[in-house]
Structure 1
Amino acid sequence: MVDYIFAILSTTVKLFALMTPPAVLSAFLSGTKQYDEQLRRKIALKTSCAVFIIGIVLFFFGNTMFSVFGFTLDAFRIGSGALLFITAVSLMNDSPEKNKINSDDDISVVPLAIPLCMGPASIGTIIVMGTSSIGVVPNLIGAISLLVASMGIYIMLLCAKSIAKVLKNTGIAILSKLTGLLISAIAAQVVFTGISAFLK
């Protein structure tokens, strides 16, 4: 039981980091600055629901993509790992001002859910996770982790104003760079796993 809980926690942290929370936070703040609290809550809920639905579809049906396009899991690991590294570099070189967006439209699905939360790197990682998960328990761990990570995005967006007051632009920039470091480590591991399988 403890092993299952640890697996859920570690997978949740990994997924949450891949959703680039600093970028999502700054985009949400700039895109909802003219909205009242009720509308901000609605956008936060729609964003987290969209993230969860997209993640679940990719997790359970991503394997179909391999059959349709004819590439292997290890090839996809290397490709998604490269995208992960690019995401990490962009986060470490990014600033909150770069994520400002127009607040005239509904931003819950685009750009918050896609491509900020569900960009190429997170999509690739979720598909690899889903394809690697064989059996009821691994699939359940993946689904629960996606749910908890999506809830984490929801809570973060609900508390966006409070977080911004505490961290300010400098704090968000530092958090973005730390997230980039974590994602770069994940990217290295994903690429190493894919290359090792090719060399066997």
Structure 2
Amino acid sequence: MDQFIILYLKLFFMMTPFFVMSAFIAMTKHASKAEKKRIIFKICVAVFVTGMLFFLFGIYIFDLFGITLDAFKIGAGTVLFLSAIDMIRQDDTPTAIKNTDNDIAIVPLAIPITIGPGLIGVLMVYGAEPSSVMHNVIVCMALLASVVSVGLILLISNKVQHLLGKQGLKILPKITGLFVSAIGAQIIFSGIQGFFKL
């Protein structure tokens, strides 16, 4: 149970839920309740399916390109850390998410806003590390729980917006960014430690 909670919290914060929520609010302000629910469902499905694909088949990508696990940890941790810095320094809604001409559920809300390079990298690391069947099941359940949690936050996004206001929505992604930067730093240190043990 402790392992599940730890993995769940890591994956949840790496999905940057409050940044996703602020982006969702900005992009769906003219959508009906039914349309918002449809978009949320598609986001959740896309994130879970994409995450599972990288978790299950990441090890084959390593073999294909000849990448070591420790090198990938350093790379993925760096990307995650830099993404967190962008979140902390971000003042406005990114211009990339202001275009609503296409289906916004898959791109950009699911990919790359919810499941970005950092989260993809971490899932690939989890999938490539030697582990038991139970550990893999726990990772899958933690991923599912994280996706459901993000979906629930999006469902109540209007209430959260009224409660916090615009300034509050700007602060939440920065707080999330601090947690994500710490996770990224930990992954980098783990990769460096493994590299010097070789």
> Which TM bucket (shorter chain)?
over 0.9
Which ranges of structure 2 fall in alignment gaps of 5 or more residues?
A: none
Residue 45 (structure 1) aligns with: 41
Residue 123 (structure 1) aligns with: 120
Q: 2:83 aligns with which of 87, 99, 108?
A: 87
Residue 192 (structure 2) aligns with: 195
Matched, 1:21 2:17: yes
Q: 2:158 aligns with which of 141, 161, 165?
A: 161
| Equivalent AA in structure 2 for residue 159 of structure 1 | I
1:36-115 equivalences in 2 (<5 Å): 36-98=32-94, 101-115=98-112
Q: Once the two structures are superposed, what CA deviation does each residue of 1:7-56 show, in whole Å capped at 9, x if it has no partner?
A: 11111111111111122111111111111101100100110111000011
| Equivalent AA in structure 2 for residue 76 of structure 1 | F
Shift of 1:133: 5.1
Residue 29 (structure 2) aligns with: 33
Residue 136 (structure 2) aligns with: 139
2:19–2:172 contact (8 Å) kept in structure 1? no
Q: What number of residue pairs does the alignment pair up?
A: 196
| Equivalent AA in structure 1 for residue 191 of structure 2 | G
Q: Once the two structures are superposed, what CA deviation does each residue of 1:139-168 show, in whole Å capped at 9, x if it has no partner?
A: 000000010011011111111111111122
SS of the counterpart of 1:106?
Answer: coil
Looking at structure 2, the residues matched to 97 and 82 of structure 1 have their Cα atoms a distance apart, in angstroms, of 23
2:21–2:154 contact (8 Å) kept in structure 1? yes
SS of the counterpart of 1:197?
Answer: helix
Looking at structure 1, the residues matched to 13 and 91 of structure 2 have their Cα atoms a distance apart, in angstroms, of 17
Matched-pair identity in %: 39
| Equivalent AA in structure 1 for residue 26 of structure 2 | S
Cα distance change of structure 1 residues 169 and 98 upon mapping to structure 2, 3 Å threshold:
farther
Relative to the length of structure 1, the TM-score reads 0.93
CA-based RMSD of the aligned residues comes to 1.3
Relative to the length of structure 2, the TM-score reads 0.94
SS of the counterpart of 1:41?
Answer: helix
Which ranges of structure 1 fall in alignment gaps of 5 or more residues?
A: none
Q: Which runs of 4+ in 1 moved over 6 A?
A: none
